[in-house]
Amino acid sequence: MRQTIQDHLGPPPTPYRWGGTGKFGIDCSGLVMTLFREQGIFLPRTSANQFFVGKPVSDKLQFGDLVFFSKYGPAHPVTHVGIFIGGDKFLHASASRGVTISSLNKRYYRLRYKGARRIF
């Protein structure tokens, strides 16, 4: 999984494309689905459905845990997903930056955090 992550980070990074699942354009849930499929794990296509797979994780996140967000705030349905990669960082496909790494501690993500799930 680590090599595929590096491939998507670039250079150049894989651009964002809603509904995309490949190197020429990918969205957040497509990125997660693709990375896990390469490990032999088949996940649903949307972030909202991915939120119900695996076991909830409240703390001590591990590499590969899925982290979920709602752009409308935590009381609303899931709209975004990323993969925890360690420290406070997660990999995701950003509409403005393509595949990138962000901090869970960034205010924007803290206010929209819904939870995490462990798939394996």
Helix (H) / strand (E) element for 52: namely: none
CB 92 within 8 A of CB 102: yes
Active site residues: 28, 80, 92
From first CA to last CA, the distance across the chain in angstroms is 13
CATH code: domain of residue 78: 3.90.1720.10
**Model-level pTM greater than 0.95?**
no
The total domain count for the chain is 1
CA distance 114 to 107: 14
- What pLDDT is recorded for position 118? 98
Q: Which residues constitute the domain of residue 7?
A: 2-118
Q: What is the mean pLDDT of each run of 10 residues along the chain (120 residues)?
A: 77 92 95 94 97 94 97 92 97 95 97 95
